[in-house]
Structure 1
Amino acid sequence: MAPAMKIVFGLLAFVTAGMIVGAFFQLAFILKLEDSYGISHWDNDTDAAVLRIGYVKPEIISWSPRIIVLHDFLSSEECDYLRALAKPRLQISTVVDVKTGKGIESKVRTSSGMFLSSEEKTHQVVQAIEKRISVYSQVPIENGELIQVLRYEKNQYYKPHHDYFSDTFNLKRGGQRVATMLMYLSDNVEGGETYFPMAGSSKCSCGGKVVDGLCVKPIKGNAVLFWSMGLDGQSDPSSIHGGCEVLSGVKWSATKWMRQRATF
Structure 2
Amino acid sequence: MVSKVRTSSGMFLWKAQDEIIAEIEARIATWTFLPIDNGENIQVLRYERGQQYEAHFDYFSDKYNLQYGGHRMATVLIYLSNVEKGGETVFPDSELSLSQPKDNTWSQCAKTGYAVKPKKGDALLFFSLHPNATTDTRSLHRSCPVIEGEKWSATRWIHVDNVLKEVF
Q: State if a TM-score over 0.5 links the two structures.
A: yes
Would you say how many aligned residue pairs link Structure 1 and Structure 2? 159
Structure 1 residue 188 displacement after superposition: 4.0
Aligned to 2:137: 237
Aligned residues of 2:7 and 2:51 also touching (Cα < 8 A): yes
Is residue 178 of structure 1 aligned with residue 73 of structure 2? yes
Aligned residues of 2:7 and 2:53 also touching (Cα < 8 A): yes
Q: Distance in 2 between matches of 1:209 and 1:215?
A: 9
For the residue of structure 1 that corresponds to 2:147, the secondary structure is strand
Q: Distance in 2 between matches of 1:217 and 1:178?
A: 23
Aligned to 2:85: 190
Aligned to 1:150: 45
Q: Distance in 1 between matches of 2:127 and 2:23?
A: 22
Q: Distance in 2 between matches of 1:247 and 1:137?
A: 31
Structure 1 residue 197 displacement after superposition: 0.7
Aligned residues of 2:85 and 2:106 also touching (Cα < 8 A): no
Aligned residues of 2:89 and 2:117 also touching (Cα < 8 A): yes
Higher helix fraction (1 or 2): 1
Out of 110, 122, 127, the position equivalent to 1:222 is: 122
Aligned to 2:26: 131
- Residues 112, 158 of structure 1: alpha-carbon distance in 2 compared, 3 angstrom cutoff: same
Give the TM-score taking structure 2 as reference length: 0.88
Give the TM-score taking structure 1 as reference length: 0.57
Q: Distance in 1 between matches of 2:58 and 2:156?
A: 11
Aligned to 1:106: 3
- Give structure 2 stretches of 5+ with no counterpart: none
Residue-by-residue CA offset, 1:148-190 (whole Å, 9 max, x unaligned) = 0000000000111100012111111111111000000012431
Kindly, what percent of the aligned residue pairs are identical? Answer: 47
For the residue of structure 2 that corresponds to 1:122, the secondary structure is coil
For the residue of structure 1 that corresponds to 2:61, the secondary structure is coil
Structure 1 residue 109 displacement after superposition: 0.9
- Residues 236, 210 of structure 1: alpha-carbon distance in 2 compared, 3 angstrom cutoff: closer
What are the residue-to-residue correspondences of 1:55-134 with 2, within 5 Å?
Answer: 92=1, 105-118=2-15, 121-134=16-29
Aligned residues of 2:71 and 2:159 also touching (Cα < 8 A): yes
RCO (CA 8 Å, sep 6+): is it higher in 1 or 2?
2
Q: Structure 1: which amino acid aligns with 2:37?
A: E
- Give structure 1 stretches of 5+ with no counterpart: 1-91, 93-104
Q: Distance in 1 between matches of 2:109 and 2:63?
A: 36
Q: Structure 2: which amino acid aligns with 1:193?
A: E
Structure 1 residue 206 displacement after superposition: 5.6
Q: Distance in 2 between matches of 1:210 and 1:241?
A: 11
Is residue 164 of structure 1 aligned with residue 59 of structure 2? yes
Q: Distance in 1 between matches of 2:70 and 2:84?
A: 35
Structure 1 residue 209 displacement after superposition: 4.3
Larger Rg belongs to: 1
Aligned residues of 1:134 and 1:140 also touching (Cα < 8 A): yes
Aligned residues of 1:185 and 1:251 also touching (Cα < 8 A): yes
